[in-house]
Amino acid sequence: VGGGSSMGTAKAAMAYARYPCGVTDYFGVPVGAGRPIPGPLLPHIACPTTSGTGSECTSVAVIRLGEIDSKFVIGSPFMMPDEAIVDPTCTETLPANVVASTGYDLMCHALECYTARAYTRWDRVEDPARRTLLQGANPWSDMAATRALEIVDAYLERGIADAADHEARDQLMWGATLAGMAFGNSGTHLPHAMSYGVTHLMKHVTTPGYDVPSPFVPHGISVAVGAPAIVRYLAPGAPGRHLEAAGHLGADTRGAGEDDAGDVLSSRLVDLMRATAAPNGLGGLGFGADDLPAMAASSARQKRAIANAPRIASEDEIQSIYANAMSYW
């Protein structure tokens, strides 16, 4: 019961308890051994209390590795919860800032699913145990991702503004589950990869509205602050997909061509961020130019997510994208 951290912790704990091994053995190469989880885990009933991660319907968990202060994904079909209880009333007491940050995660999940590297562009892997769970953009994930984007357009601002707007809170919870089903199949890519660089360097930053004793950047915000700059970089790799995503997210795409895709989608993301009081880019969180090399180095470790993007960013390109994400308005 809880948000993505609670549900992911339960998945990982069951894997290591049922099949003990070294902490990094289930991590992907080169950080870990890439060892598959060998069999079924204990029964798992997942009940989300936030409308963002969709972890109740995915086969992955994210682990923060303290030794190198970065996050990595472990995944297996055996990590899928057996049942999910998705009750929107669990979100009715959430503060507006939590609805916002988890809503950004929902938004980026759906956006990354729809714009991911196409499933037809991956090489075939003969051993089923070594096949990735995350297949890239495909017709199945497209259906859930596009509807989730439309839900963000229609209900995110409403759900943040009014806790008594039950329709909005219900729809955001449904959108999070849809996006979870989508990215649990297609995978995320560069916005999530670059979010890990933000959390890696969060030791000296805080997020307005969160009363916590130590530096803290909510996951959804860490993803969203880079997204407008990232989509401008990625759009040339899949311009049609980016333009269609902008339309599903509520942008006016009339008269826009594929060359405009990055600008149109980026502008729509910035509009949503401003309307929901998101930080104004990395600078709004307190990051500066001196932080960018370490952030880029941390994010460049996320090989799996980077490879799932329609363009493959180098570490230098990631640093340049961070520089473009310092401020949007």
**Which residue among 63, 88, 113 closes a domain?**
88
In a domain, 315, yes or no: yes
- Is residue 189 within 8 A of residue 311, CB to CB? The reply is no
Residues of the domain holding 10: 4-88
Return the pLDDT at 271: 98
Two tokens, residue 218: 């909510």
In a domain, 107, yes or no: yes
**Residues 113 and 217 reside in one and the same domain:** yes
**Residues 125 and 58 reside in one and the same domain:** no
pLDDT in tens, 292-328: 999 999 999 888 899 999 999 999 999 999 999 999 9
pLDDT in tens, 237-253: 999 999 999 999 999 99
- Is residue 245 within 8 A of residue 265, CB to CB? The reply is yes
At residue 278, φ and ψ (nearest 5 deg) are -75, 155
**Residues 22 and 110 reside in one and the same domain:** no
Q: Which of 194, 239, 238 is nearest to 219 (CA)?
A: 194
Q: Compute the distance between CA of residue 141 and CA of residue 179 in angstroms, rounded to an integer.
A: 8
In a domain, 329, yes or no: no
Q: Compute the distance between CA of residue 238 and CA of residue 235 in angstroms, rounded to an integer.
A: 5
- For the chain, percent of residues with pLDDT exceeding 70: 94
List strand residue ranges (DSSP E) for the chain, in order.
45-46, 60-65, 70-75, 83-84
**Residues 31 and 160 reside in one and the same domain:** no
Cα of 185 vs its chain's centroid, Å: 13
**Residues 265 and 134 reside in one and the same domain:** yes
pLDDT at 208 over 70: no
Confidence of residue 68 (pLDDT cuts 50, 70, 90): low
Q: Compute the distance between CA of residue 124 and CA of residue 218 in angstroms, rounded to an integer.
A: 36
Two tokens, residue 326: 């310092």
**Residues 73 and 108 reside in one and the same domain:** no
pLDDT at 210 over 80: no
pLDDT in tens, 74-102: 888 899 999 999 999 999 999 999 999 99
pLDDT at 71 over 80: no
In a domain, 108, yes or no: yes
Look up residue 151 and give its DSSP letter.
H
- Is residue 285 within 8 A of residue 225, CB to CB? The reply is yes
Two tokens, residue 100: 């916002």
**Residues 204 and 115 reside in one and the same domain:** yes
Neighbours of 132 (CB within 10 A): 14
* CATH classification at residue 174: 1.20.1090.10
**Which residue among 42, 59, 88 closes a domain?**
88
Average pLDDT, the chain: 92
pLDDT in tens, 130-186: 666 678 999 999 999 999 999 999 999 999 999 999 999 999 999 999 999 999 999
Q: Supply the angle between the helices 227-234 and 315-324 in degrees, to the nearest 10.
A: 130
**Residues 17 and 122 reside in one and the same domain:** no
| C-alpha distances in Å from residue 319, one per residue of 45, 106, 233, 316 | 40, 25, 12, 5
* CATH classification at residue 57: 3.40.50.1970
CA dihedral of 150, 239, 184, 226, whole degrees rounded to 10: -80
**Residues 221 and 266 reside in one and the same domain:** yes
pTM: 0.92
Q: Which helix (H) or strand (E) holds 175?
A: helix 166-186
The DSSP string of 241-259 is: HHHHHHHHTT---TT--GG
In a domain, 180, yes or no: yes
In a domain, 155, yes or no: yes
**Residues 84 and 94 reside in one and the same domain:** no
Two tokens, residue 162: 């009014």
**Which residue among 45, 70, 88 closes a domain?**
88
Q: Among 129-138, 203-212, 221-230, 246-255, which stretch is predicted with the lowest mean pLDDT?
A: 203-212
| C-alpha distances in Å from residue 121, one per residue of 188, 290, 307 | 15, 37, 11
Q: Which of 242, 237, 232 is nearest to 266 (CA)?
A: 232
**Residues 81 and 198 reside in one and the same domain:** no
Two tokens, residue 135: 């297949």
**Residues 133 and 270 reside in one and the same domain:** yes
Two tokens, residue 104: 């950004």
Return the pLDDT at 114: 98
Q: How many Cα atoms within 13 Å fall on the side-chain side of residue 88?
A: 16
Q: How many domains does the chain have?
A: 2
Selection from 60-74, 191-205, 220-234 with the highest mean pLDDT:
220-234
In a domain, 222, yes or no: yes
